[in-house]
Amino acid sequence: MSVQGRVAIVTGAGQGLGRSYALALAAAGAKLVVNDIGTFDGVPTAERVAEEIRAAGGEAIADTNSVATAEGGLAMVEAAFAAFGRIDIVVSNAGIERNQSYAKSSAAQWSDVIDVHLGGTHHLCHAAWPHLLNQRHGRLILVTSPSGLWGNFSQASYAAAKMGIIGLANVLAIEGKAKNVLVNCLAPIATTPMSRHTLSPALAAQLDPDLVAPAVLQLASDTLETTGAILIAGGGWFTSAHVAIAPGVLLAPGEPLDAHWAQIISGETIVPGVTMSPEALEKIFVDGDPGLQPTA
């Protein structure tokens, strides 16, 4: 899983999962642009993580541009070229939440989340894309979420953005494959400042962000051949999600649809999705039982 000498941008890398991704890539020999807009005690969190990498013998610079604008995405790529002369790996991880039931949500809450997650992923990828194609090498890791795949109460904007990221990745995987620009999604499950309030103490203790980092190293590796995948990782558990289609029914002219409705929507012959409820996660990470229940 070689990333030695490669140049990576990790957004939202000042804490939580992004920090774990940045530290893991740096420890494996990559040079880092650590992006985050946050501060702690007046110091940019991106600078704190960059300094942590440098103190361990790695190479890193801090970047505080916002992913929510095209100018911010372009500035990050320019910073990578100014410091290291190239860009090889993009980890689009930055995110926010504005959790609210859909009926009570506001236009501002919707646009804030879409702008950072989906817009931010687009801005950074669009700025990096021509360079990756020209050098015939690139690894894009676009962070999605189980909430995007299966939904979650009060997360309409978040889920919409995260599923949109999968759609973007599907297209980029097709367009980049011939030039060795491989694009995959990662749906992490971890205890972070954003997720901690939703998890029981027993479950939170099992979901260290560092346990997701091996997925990033795999997806960033020079030896990777996979593109267009959706990898789920958390607590040492790794699996993949798939968008599948059932055989369905071909109706004769005039034949009523409702007579075959149960067969059409059953999905009996495909690998079903699974519920990703807190109860199901408790069974995986606390009880050690991966026997998730299929969805209807």
Place of tokens 């919409």: 160
DSSP E strand boundaries for the chain:
7-10, 31-35, 39-40, 43-44, 60-63, 89-92, 138-143, 181-188, 230-234, 237-241
Active-site residue identified among 21, 84, 158, 285: 158
Clarify whether 158 is annotated catalytic. Answer: yes
Q: How far apart are CA 185 and CA 145, in angstroms?
A: 9
Element (H, E) at 55: helix 45-55
Torsion-angle region of 4 (φ positive above 0: left; ψ -120 to 50: alpha; else: beta): beta
Integer angstrom CA distances of residue 42 from 10, 45, 65, 272: 21, 9, 16, 48
Q: Is residue 124 within 8 Å of residue 9, measured between CB atoms?
A: yes
Instruction: At 173, list the tokens.
Output: 């995987």
Query: Catalytic site residues?
Result: 158
